[in-house]
Amino acid sequence: MSNSIEIPFSTTLMVRDTCLCLHVQRAARALARLFDDALRPAGLTNGQFSLMMSLNRPEPPPMGPVAALLAMDQTTLTAALKPLQRKGWVVVMANPRDRRGRLLSLTAEGKAALARALPIWENTHAVLDRTLPDGGAARLRQDLQALSGVTVETPKRSGSSRRPPRSGRTMGA
C-alpha cells in the first residue's frame, strides 16, 4: 500500500496554463532560438551578443557588475567569456586597482563583430516589437524588469537547508 499523494490532473492543467515561470521559460527558449538563428551569420549566439553588448562601455567593467547585469554568477560568466576570448573578441585583464579582480574589455575585433551583429539584432527586434500590438513590447519589457527583481519568501521546511533569498523586492510571505 502506497502513501503517495495523488495530485489531480486538473491541477496539472491549471499549472500548465497559469505558471508564469513555465511561460517565461518557453518564451525565453523561443526568443533565444530566434535570435540565435538570426545572429548566426555574425558568428554570435544571443547570449554572446548580450554579453558583448554589456562590455560596450567607456571603461572596462569588473566581472561582478557584468555578471549581475546578465543575472549569472561569476563562474558562469567566466565560462561564457572563454569562446569570445578564443575568437580574440574579449580580453580579461587584472584590475590595476585590485589585482584580485578582473576587468573585461572588447577588442577592436570584438567591437567590429558587435557592429556587424547590431543591425541583425535591430531588425529582429523590430519584427518582434510589431508582433505585440498597442505598446505590448514596452509593457512586456517593463513587466519582465519588474519580475527580475522580485523574490518570494517560501515557508521553511523542517530539517532542510535553504539559501537566503536573493536581493530585490520581496513578495508575500
pLDDT in tens, 120-144: 999 999 999 899 888 788 899 899 9
Band (pLDDT 50/70/90 cuts) for residue 6 is very high
- The angle at the Cα of 74, spanning 141 to 100, to the nearest 5 degrees, equals 135
At 71, is the pLDDT very low, low, confident or very high (cuts 50, 70, 90)?
Answer: very high
Q: How far is CA 111 from CA 88, 90, 116, in A?
A: 11, 9, 9
CA dihedral 149, 154, 158, 160 (to 10 degrees): -30
DSSP SS3 for 91: strand
Secondary structure class of 100 (helix, strand, coil): strand
C-alpha neighbours within 13 Å on the C-beta side of residue 48: 25
This prediction's pTM: 0.80
* Phi and psi at residue 60, to the nearest 5°: -60, 125
- Identify any residues that bridge with 103 across adjacent strands, giving them in sequence order: 62, 93
Q: Which helix (H) or strand (E) holds 128?
A: helix 108-131
Q: Which residue has the higher pLDDT, 80 or 138?
A: 80
Give residue for cell 535591430: 122
Identity of residue 2 = S
E strands, 55-153, are 90-95, 98-106, 150-152
What pLDDT is stored for residue 98 in this prediction?
A: 87
**Under 8 Å between Cβ of 81 and 51:** yes
